[in-house]
Amino acid sequence: MKSIFILTGAGVSAESGVPTFRAADGLWEGHRVEDVATPEGFERDPELVHAFYNERRRRLSSVTPNAAHLAIARLQRAHPVTLVTQNVDDLHERSGSAQVIHMHGELLKARCERCGAVAEWSGDMGVSSSCGHCRTKGGMRPHIVWFGEMPFGMDAIDAAIVSAGLFVAVGTSGNVYPAAGFASIAAAHGIPTLEINPDETGISGVFDEHRRGPAGTVVPFWVEEILRGS
């Protein structure tokens, strides 16, 4: 049985209370992307960037997975699924999903710029935080892919897309590459494509099928349909 390739974006976490990016008229929690989500911004003002991620990390404890996360986890237990998320929250994991590919990194991980070690990190991080591996003080950064940096897992993602039986995008505006190009790759390989989103997106034209509505309502319904059919 061929795998279902699911790409999720900020929209899948919207009903959990995690703000999406595009809803904030170009500003991201009041900041310009260039200032808080680029290596240059981190170089320029590490304190600001640490504060931005500390605030988002803290807020994770007050949000919970929604019906869309839970339905995807349920599907994974009954059907081969490759789950790739652009989100840096841990809501897929907390809903029971396994093998989540976080192509843009994870809020709850940190990376040492000196030795490259990646560690779980749930508390605040700052310019004097130390690496638990090499003990260096002051070299920690969020294990997040910023603009201009190479996303994680791309080889596995590319291989999974072209061998999938179905490509589904849930809650992504299709603004950020290379994720925004995945549906076109699937379509070019003759793989059926489905977009689940309340709104039309810049890549809607690529998809064979669209289900317009919030992920928390549409995804459980779609998963039940798949499970009944399989």
Q: Are strands 105-112 and 140-144 parallel, antiparallel or unpaired?
A: antiparallel
Shortest Å, Cβ 125 to ligand BV8: 13
Q: Answer yes or no whether residue 199 interacts with ligand BV8 by CB under 6 A.
A: yes
Shortest Å, Cβ 131 to ligand BV8: 21
Going by C-alpha positions, the residue among 93, 65, 80 that lies closest to residue 220 is 65
Q: Is 104 one of the catalytic residues?
A: yes
Q: Answer yes or no whether residue 64 interacts with ligand BV8 by CB under 6 A.
A: no
Q: How many residues does the chain have?
A: 230
Q: Alpha carbon of 109 to those of 60, 83, 98, 120, 198: distances in Å? A: 13, 19, 17, 4, 31
Shortest Å, Cβ 1 to ligand BV8: 27
DSSP state of 76: H
Shortest Å, Cβ 177 to ligand BV8: 4
State how far the Cα of 47 lies from the Cα of 5, in Å rounded to an integer. 37
Q: Are strands 209-211 and 193-196 parallel, antiparallel or unpaired?
A: parallel
Q: Answer yes or no whether residue 148 interacts with ligand BV8 by CB under 6 A.
A: yes
Catalytic-role residue among 50, 69, 92, 104: 104
Binder among 104, 111, 141, 143 for ligand BV8 (CB under 6 A): 104
Residues 68-97: x/- map of binding to ligand BV8 (CB under 6 A)? ------------------x-x---------
Dihedral sign for Cα 133, 60, 125, 32, please.
Answer: positive
Size, binding site for ligand BV8 by CB under 6 A: 34
List for the chain the helix, strand, coil content (%; round to 5).
35, 20, 45
State how far the Cα of 3 lies from the Cα of 37, in Å rounded to an integer. 32
Q: Answer yes or no whether residue 3 interacts with ligand BV8 by CB under 6 A.
A: no
Which window, 70-78, 126-134, 140-148, 158-166, contacts ligand BV8 (CB under 6 A)?
Answer: 140-148
Q: Answer yes or no whether residue 1 interacts with ligand BV8 by CB under 6 A.
A: no
Q: Answer yes or no whether residue 144 interacts with ligand BV8 by CB under 6 A.
A: yes
Nearer to ligand BV8, 22 or 94 (CB): 22
Binder among 16, 76, 129, 173 for ligand BV8 (CB under 6 A): 173
- Residue 225 burial by CB count (10 A; 0-12/13-18/19+): exposed, middle or buried? exposed
State how far the Cα of 47 lies from the Cα of 43, in Å rounded to an integer. 10
Active site residues: 104
Please report, as ranges, the residues that interact with ligand BV8 according to CB under 6 A: 9-11, 14-15, 20-22, 37, 86, 88, 104, 144-151, 171-173, 175-179, 197-199, 201, 214-215
